[in-house]
Structure 1
Amino acid sequence: MSFPILGLSSKAEDEVAMTTSSVLPARGGPEHGPLVALAPDLGPEDWRRAEGAMALALDPQGNGAPVSWDNAQSGMKGTFTPVGGPFLKEDEICRAFLASMALQSGPVRLQGTACRPSGGEWAVKDAKTWKGAA
């Protein structure tokens, strides 16, 4: 996943990006981008499982169905649901998604966009708390 390039966003966003990248890389790493700040409870194994579910859910050749993940050891679980079809942006395949997770700190519902270069891994480009209908 990816972080915003420092200097291209507001000063407050730069400070959050610097803090997130320097404090949380062991808990999912920079490849998880904005999700790290929104789901800090997830450990490395949780991220591995969530990332696999996200990749399956967002696959442009997939059926568009939600894909769930869980980790019995940590008690964490969640679901990624693709929203709409894939689209091209800056030579990458992108797709919007909704995510719901049951974390130690409580339930989290997110909306975001992830992209991947041809043959590459999905990278979350943006994510924020979703307050839509359940």
Structure 2
Amino acid sequence: MPTVAHWDWSGNARRYWDFVYAAKITQIKRQIHHYGSALNSLPLRRYFEQNSTELYALRVSFARNTAPLTNIDEEGFTSAAFHSYPELPKWDPYSGDYGQGLQGLGLGQCTLIVNDEIYGRLVFGVN
């Protein structure tokens, strides 16, 4: 579960197979911001709540939880995920299992203020 400053890798769920079953473009490859990103964020957030010194868990869970927002295009269509192969960098034309990711996003939305020993006061979930 990486936490890097990049829109598609930070918090991304590692899913490969759903493009074979629930996509228009059927290929086996890493799916960017598959619905599993938001769903996987929920137990990770719970882990942080029980272990409040684990800032890494909070950072990754926030990145994962907001991932479904990147799957919505300017017209409101929701894609199942982004195709990660360099020769086909685009959203899949089918929505697939997007609804589960949106549910995970809704269940995980919150604002947290953390006082970290190294970075001081940090705020997650607000502008």
Q: Which structure would you say has the larger RCO, counting Cα contacts within 8 Å and 6 or more residues apart?
A: 2
Q: Same fold (TM over 0.5)?
A: no
The normalised TM-score by structure 2 is 0.26
TM, length-normalised to structure 1? 0.25
Whichever structure has more helix as a proportion of its residues is 2
Structure number with bigger Rg: 2
